[in-house]
Amino acid sequence: MCEHELIGDYYRGCQHFHGRYYSGERVDCMSPKCKTSTAHIHNPNLGCRCATIVTNRNKVQSVIHAKHPDCSE
């Protein structure tokens, strides 16, 4: 499965990572059955039924020692 780099903040108070934006960096899985891979064997525009298998690779930009506002309620 291909990995896309997600930049965000890690909140130590609630121990959650909150992503802010994708950097555009990705790691290709080189699987012929992954739609986002460069090794994909089908043309994805021609009704290809291959799965889009993407995971996030979290990259911490800032560590915040409080809880995220969504978690402090």
pLDDT single digits (tens) 6-31: 999 999 999 999 999 999 998 998 88
Residue 56 falls within a domain, yes or no? yes
Residue 13 falls within a domain, yes or no? yes
Q: If you average pLDDT over residues 45-53, what whole number do you get?
A: 75
Residue 69 falls within a domain, yes or no? no
Residue range(s) defining the domain that contains residue 33: 2-64
Domain count, the chain: 1
Whole-structure pTM value? 0.73
State residue 10's pLDDT score: 97
Residue 44 falls within a domain, yes or no? yes
Residue 23 falls within a domain, yes or no? yes
∠ at Cα 46 (40, 52), nearest 5°? 45
Residue 7 falls within a domain, yes or no? yes
- pLDDT category at 45 given cuts 50, 70, 90 is low
Pairing between β-strand 54-64 and β-strand 2-11 as defined by DSSP bridges: parallel
